[in-house]
Chain A
C-alpha cells in the first residue's frame, strides 16, 4: 500500500492524436487516453496493431511520427505539459528526462558511429555528465546488462555485435543519462524466445536497480505479466480497461481483455495433442524425407557449400499435422522448401505416397506439384498486389483442374466460404483486405489446388494474437473438413502444440527430437526441447524469476546457434554436455514409446534425472 503515496511522474490526460489525410481531413488515431505513471513503476500499454500504443508512448517524448499531430489533451511530466512546451525545452527533455527504446535496435543504431559514442551521446549533450564519467557509467551499465567484453564493446560498431546484444545496448543508451522515465517499444518482439528471456531479465534488473519508471509497449500479455506493475489495455486508440497487473491478468473485466486472454495459447504441455479422426487415416505415409541434406551455394565434395539441414528424417502421415519448431536459422523453412521442390536437396529422398519425387520443380509432374502446396509466411508478399482475389484463387483451379467460367466462379465462392470469407471478396484486390483476411486468401489459394499436404511456413507469426488464433481455428476446421495433412512450421511452441499431433524439434539444421505431441511435451526431454519449453513465457506473475532458477537457463541462453560439422550442434549450450563425446560424435537415436525419438548422447536415466533435480530445485526456491 506504500506505493499509493508515490509521486505521479507522468500524467496523460485526454490525449488525442490525429493524422491528416491527403484531402486535409483529420483522422483520429488516439481518441482521448488517460493514464499515469508513478515513480519506479512499470506501466504496460497493451494492444494489437492499430491500437495506437506506440503513438501514445511517443507522446511521452512530445513526439509524433511524421504525418501525425497532437490534437488535444495533456501529457504532464512533473506537472508540466510537454505538448505545449517550447521546442527547445522539449528537446532538453528527450534523452535526459525521458528515454526511448525502439523495437529494432539494428535499425536505430547509426552504422557509422561507435556504440560507445551513441550510448553516451545524450548524457553528454544534455550536460548531465562529462564524457569521461559518461563512458564510465556506460561501462557499468554494460556490466549490469551482462554484455560480453564490457570494457571494449563501446569501441565497436553496431554491425559488429549480435541482435540480442544490440537490444541490451539500446537499454544502456537509454539509461546512460539516468532518465526518470523509459519508453520501451516492443523491445523483445523481434527476438527468439530463448534470447527474449535474457533481454527481459536484463531489462527488469536494471529498471529495478536504477529505480526508473517505464512505459512498456507490447502486444504480448505473457511478457507484460513478467514486467509490468500496471496495465493499460488499448483498442483502436481508446483505453478499454486499466488496472494492476494482477487484476488484469487474473481477473480481467472488459470483454476485449478477455478476448485477448483467450487468444493467448496455453503453455505447451502433454495432453494438448489432437487425435486424427479415423476416416482420414491411411497406412502409407503421405510425404516423407529420408536422410536428407540440403543447403545453398552449390556442392563441394558432395556437401552443400552453406549447409542448412543435415540428415533429416521426417514424415507427414495422412491426415496428420506435423509441427516443426525451432529458432530462427535452424532450417525449418528450408525443410518445407525442400519438400515443395523449391530447393533441390543435396542428398536424400523425398517420397510422396510411396513414390520418390524429383528434387526440383521442373522435374516434378503436374499432379505431384498439385498434391504438395506451400503456404508462404507473409501474405503481403505472397499475393500479387495487381491481381483480383478471384483470379488468385481461380488460377490453381484452372491450372490444375481445368475449371473455367461459371464453374470456376462457383468454386472460388465455395473456397472463400471454406476460409470463412464472404464471396464478394473475389472482386477485391489484396490491398483492400486486412492482414488476417490476406492470410486466409493465402491459405485459400493452396486449398484451391486440392492438395494432399499443405506446408505452412510461419503463417501466424506476422498476425496479431486474436487474428492468429482465428487462423489456427480455421486450420483445425480445414483439417477436419478436408482431411488434408499439414506441416506447420513455427518458432512459437505454444502455437505448434495447440494444433499439431506430432512435433519435430529442429536445432541448427538437425532433428533433435520428434514424436507425438503428447510424448514430446512430456519428459524425458532433449535438453534443447526443455530449454525451449521453459523459455515460453507463462501468463503468470513471477514466472520469469522462477524460470531463471532453472539451471539450463544459466548456461544455455547466452550463446549463438552454430551449425557444426561434427558432434551435437547443441553442445555449446547444453548444461549436460559431455566433453569429448558430444562435441565429437553424432548423437545416437534414443527410441522411446509411440515413435518418440530423441537424438542425444545421454541415457534415458540421465535425462529423467535432470527432470527430478529441476523440480526439486524449483520447489526449494519456492519455499
Chain B
C-alpha cells in the first residue's frame, strides 16, 4: 500500500466521524496513527508477533471505547497512546508473557544497556530519524524510559539511581527541547 492511498483527515474531522462511527474514519485512524502507536508498542514489546497483536487490541479498544474520549480531555493521540502503552505493559506483565520470556531476561538486559550506550543498531529502528542532536543523552534516556518503555517516573528514578526531583526536571527540560525542535 503506497503512501498516496492513505487517508488523512484533520483531527476534528476524524473525531467527529469516529463519533458518528463512519467506516472511513476507522481507516483514516489506522493510516494516521498505526505507525506512531506501533513505534511505542514495539519499544515495550520486542517480540514482533506479540507487538502486532497488541496493536490490534489497541485499535479494537479505541474503537469500542471511543465514546469515553472527549476533545476537552486533550489530543486524540495522547488518549490513544495511553491505551496502547497500558495494553502493552499489561501484556509484558502478564503471566504467559513472563513464562515465555524467562530465559531471555539477561539477554534483554544486555540489549537494553547496549541501547542506552548506542552501541547496537536495531534493525527495526532503522527508519527512525536521528534525534540525538535534539536531546541530550540523559534527557533522551528518561523520555524513552517513560514514554517508550512504560516506566513510571518513580521506577525510572530507581532504575537510574537519580532523585525523583531530578527526573521530573530532566523530563520537563527534555520536552521543552522537543517543543523548541518541533514548533
Are chains A and B native binding partners rather than an unrelated pairing? no
Q: Give me the interface of A with B, judged by CB distance under 8 Å.
A: none
